[in-house]
Structure 1
Amino acid sequence: MEEDQEAVNLAADWADISQGLRKDLGHQVYSQWIKPIQPGNYCKETGTLDLYLPTEFSANWVSDRFADRLSLAWKIARPDVRHVRILVHPGRRQLPELRLGSGGRPGSAPANDSAQGTTDPLSAALAGEAFASLGQGPAGIDASQTFTTFVTGTANVLAFNAAQRMAAAEKPQFSPLYLKAATGQGKTHLLHAIGHAYLASHPHARIFYCSAERFMVEFVQALRQNQMIEFKARLRGFDLLLVDDIQFIIGKASAQEELLYTIDALLAEGKRLVFAADRAPQSLDGVEQRLLSRLSMGLVADIQPADIELRRAILENRLTRFASIEVPADVIEFLARTINRNVRELVGGLNKLIAYAQLTGQAVSLQLAEEQ
C-alpha cells in the first residue's frame, strides 16, 4: 500500500515537472525526449530515483542533454531526492549499438549545442549533495564539446572567434564575454569549448561551469548552511567562470548581488568570465541595473539562427561520427530544409531517423525521413 502511494506521489510530481519542462523546452523537444520518461524505483535510504526510457539510445541522449536539469527539477520538487539515474526501462528492447566512429559515442550532444543537461562529468559535478564539491577541478567541462566539433558559418562566426579569444593563452581584450542565442543554437557548446581549450593551455586552472539556476541553488544552500564565507571564497578563487542561461537569475535580488560582487572581484584580478543567455543583457527584465552594466561591459556576441548552408554543414559534420551508416544526400537536404528552428532539433531529427532505421531494420531513405 505504501509503495502504491509512493508511486502515485512520484507520478504527480513528474506531471508537474514535465509540464514545466514542456514550457521551457518547447513542444517538439518535450514530445520527442521528455514525454516518454517514466518514474521508476525510488530508494529512500540513498535518495536515488530511477527514470526510465524505452531505448538505450533515448536514455543516453536524455542523460547527455538533460541530466542536470532533471536532477535539479526533482530536487526542487522533492528535497529528499538526492540522485537521479536515467536508465533503460527493464524489459524494453534496447537500441543496437550505433557503431559510431572514433569521433563520437552513443548519445553525445549534438553539434553546436549542449544543454543544461550534459554528460556524466557535468551531471556528477552539478548534482552533488554538498556545496563542498563546488570548484573541485574542471567540473562540468564536456571534452566532446570543443572548438573542433563546432561548425561555423556566417550566423555564428563572431561568437566562435570571440570564444576562441577568451580561451587563448594570452589575456583577452574583453571580459566578460556574453553569448546571446536562442535555444539550441550553440551557445552552451561554446561555453564548454572555452573551458576545454582554456584548460588545455592552463592545466592547473580552476574552472567553474554552471547554469544560473544552479548558481542560485548553491547560493541558497550556502545561506541555509551558514557557509556564505566559504561560498564567496571558493567562487572568487576561479580563473574562469562560465555561467549558462543567465536569464534565469531574473528577480533573485540576493543572488544577483552576490554575482555582481563576484564579477567585480574576478575582473579586478584579471580573471575571465563568460555568460550565455537567450536574450541580450538589456532585455533581461528584473535584473538590477548594476549587474546589467557588468554583463554588457565586455563583448556581447550574437549567434543568429543557422541558415540553410550551415544546417547542411552541421548535418554533414554529424554524419562523420557514424560508421557504416549511409544517409543519402536527398535526406540531408530534406532535413536541412524542413527542420530550421534550431540546431538542436536539426541534429535530433537526424539521430531519431538513424535510430528508427536501425530499430526497424530499414535503410535510411527520403521516404522514411518524410514519414518521421
Structure 2
Amino acid sequence: MSHTQPHDLVQKSTETHPVNAGFAQKVWDACIEIIRGKINNQAFKTWFTPIRPLHFADNELTIEVPSQFFYEWIEENYSRYVKDALKEIIGSEGKLMYSIVMDKSQGHPVTIELPQQNMATAVTTPIEEEEHREEAAERERFRKNRQKFESHLNPKYTFSTLIRGDCNSLAFAASKSVSQNPGQNAFNPLVIYGGVGLGKTHMMQAIGNQVRENAHSSYVLYVSSEKFAIDFVNAIQNGNIQEFSSFYRTIDVLIIDDIQFFAGKEKTQEEIFHIFNTLHQSNKQIILSSDRPIKEIKGIEDRLISRFNWGLSVDLQPPDYETRKAIIQSKLEQNGVTLDSNIVDFIATNVTQNVRELEGCIVKLLAAHSLFNQEIDLAFTKSTLKDIIRIQAKQLTLDTIEKAVCSYFSITPNDLKGKSKKKEIATGRQIAMYLSKELTDSSLKTIGLHFGGRDHSTVIHGCSTVSKKMEKSMEMRNTVEELKKRIEIMSM
C-alpha cells in the first residue's frame, strides 16, 4: 500500500463507516510501516508490536497500549514519529486516541482513553485536575534535572592517557568500540572486572568522555554503586522515587562502578532491574564494573546476573613489566619530568600488582623532589618510596634471578623448573642457569637442583649455549645485560 492511498481511503471511510475496526488496522499498518524505517528494529519490536488499533472515525484513530507507562514512554520518546506518520496517512486534521489498559484492584481489566495532540492544534489530556498538576510538576522537575545535569566524569580519564598492554588489550578494544557506537553494538552491557587499582574506573570514564566528545550524547552519567544506593534510599524516604526512576530511565549512557556492592540490597536491585530493562530495550548503553566475574558475585539476584551477562565481560590483569614502564613514562611525560632509566626500572620491578600504586609512586616522588629540592637519584627514590616499596638489604640469591627471568619472559617459576621445551621457556631456563653461575657462588649441583632437579651436566650445557649465542647475537647480549641490570636493582 503506498503512502497516498490510505489518505484517500480515510476520506471514503469517514463518509460511510462511523466506526471501522478493519479500516483502523489498515491505517495503523500504513503508519507503522513509516515508523519502522525511522527507528531500530529492537525498539520497534518493544514499543510498537504490542499496540493494537481499535477503531477509526471522523479522522480519529484509536489505538490500545498495555499500560500507562507504555503510553508515557511512547509520548516521551517516539511521539514525533507517530505524528509524522499520522499526518502523512490521515492528513493534517488527523487525531490519535490512546486506549490504555488499566488493572483495577478487583482484577477486571478496563481501559481509559487519552487523546494525543491533534496534528494541527494541541488538545489537553482529559485527566483529573490533581493528576494534571502532579504531571506538570513532574515534567518541571524533569526539565530542571536536565538543565542541571552533571555527568560526574573526570576529564583526565581519556583513552589517550590510558596505556594499552597485554593486560588490558581486549577491554581496551571493546571500550573503544562502545565509545564509537554506544547502544548500537553487541557489547551491551559492557562489564569490566578486575582487582583494585587496575584501571577499571579510568577505562569506563574514558568511554563516557569519548561519547561526549563525539557528540553522540550529552546525557552520559557515571555513578558509583554506593551513591546510587544512597540516592535510592533517600528518594524513598523523601517520596521522590518516581523522579529518581524517571531520571535514570532517560540516561543515554549509564556507567555504574563496583556493582558488587549491590549484593544483598534487594530493593536497590529491584530498581536496577527495571532501569536496566528500560535502557536496554531502548538501545541505551550500559557499562558496569566489578572486582570479580559477574557469576562469582554472591547476593545478586539471578535475573539481574542473567541480564548483566547479556553483553560482553572483559577482565583487567595486573600489568606486565613493559606496560608498567610505559605507565611510569606516561605519568612522567604528563608532568614534564624525565628520570634516569634505572629509577624507572627500579619502580617498575618492585611495584607489580597495581596501576594506581605505580602512579602514586610517581606523584610522591615528584612531591618530595619539589619540597626538598633534591635531585632524584636511586637513593632518594628508595628513601622516598620506602613506605610503598619495602626494601630490605638482601644478598643475591637464585630466587632473585628466577624472579627476574620469569618477569622478563612472562613465564612462571613452574615453567622455568618444568620440562617444557618451548623456545621462550627453554631460553629463559638456560639464561637463568648462566646468570646463576656468573653472579653467585652457587655450585653447579645447587643450580641444577634449584631449576627443576637437573644434574650439573645440564647446567654446563645451558651455560655454554648462552655463551655461544652471546658471541653471535646482539639480541642475546642485550637480553642478558638487561637481566643483569634488573637483578642488580632487585638486590639493592
TM-score band by shorter chain is 0.5 to 0.7
Task: Please state if 1:158 is matched with 2:170.
Answer: yes
Greater relative CO, 1 or 2 (CA 8 Å, sep 6+): 1
In the alignment, structure 1 residue 190 sits paired with structure 2 residue 172: no
Alignment partner of 1:301 out of 305, 314, 336: 314
Amino acid at match of 2:347: L
Matched residue of 1:276: which SS? strand
Q: Aligned match of 2:158 in 146, 167, 173?
A: 146
5 Å-filtered alignment, 1:17-28, equals: none
Matches within 5 A, 1:113-262: 136-169=148-181, 171-202=184-215, 204-262=217-275
Q: SS of 2:223's equivalent?
A: strand
Structure 2 residue matching 1:320: 3-state secondary structure:
helix
Deviations 1:65-124 (A, max 9, x none): xxxxxxxxxxxxxxxxxxxxxxxxxxxxxxxxxxxxxxxxxxxxxxxxxxxxxxxxxxxx
* Residue 340 of structure 2 is aligned to residue 328 of structure 1: yes
- 2:285 pairs with 256, 263, 272, which one? 272
Paired residues in the alignment total: 240
Asked if the contact 1:135–1:207 (Cα under 8 Å) also holds between the matched residues in 2, the reply is no
Shift of 1:327: 1.4
Tell me what 1:338 maps to: 350
Give 2:189's aligned amino acid. Answer: P
Question: What per-residue deviation string (whole Å, max 9, x for no partner) do you get for residues 115-150 of structure 1?
Answer: xxxxxxxxxxxxxxxxx8699434211111101110
DSSP 3-state at the match of 1:273: strand
Q: Distance in 1 between matches of 2:366 and 2:218?
A: 39
Instruction: Report which of the two structures shows the higher radius of gyration computed on alpha carbons.
Output: 2
Q: Which runs of 4+ in 1 moved over 6 A?
A: none
Gaps of 5+ in 1: 1-131
Q: Which residue of 1 aligns with 2:372?
A: 360
Partners of 1:370 and 1:134 lie apart in 2 by: 51
Shift of 1:202: 2.5
What letter corresponds to residue 353 of structure 2 in structure 1?
R
Q: Distance in 1 between matches of 2:213 and 2:310?
A: 27
Question: In angstroms, what is the RMSD of aligned CA positions?
Answer: 1.6
Which structure's residues are more often helix, by fraction? 2
* Residues 205/326 of structure 1: CA separation in 2 closer, same or farther (3 Å cut): closer
Match of 2:298 in 1: 285
Report sequence identity in percent.
32
Contact 2:186–2:312, Cα closer than 8 Å, also in 1: no
Is the 8 Å Cα contact of residues 135 and 234 (structure 1) preserved in structure 2? Answer: no
Report what 1:347 is aligned to.
359
Cα distance per residue 1:275-308 (max 9 Å; x no partner): 0111110111111111111111110011111111
Deviations 1:287-342 (Å, cap 9, x if unpaired)? 1111111111110011111111100000011111122x331110000000101120
SS in 1 for 2:161: coil
| Separation of aligned partners in 2, 1:172 and 1:320 | 35
Partners of 2:215 and 2:268 lie apart in 1 by 29
Quote the Cα distance in structure 2 between the aligned partners of 1:245 and 1:268: 23
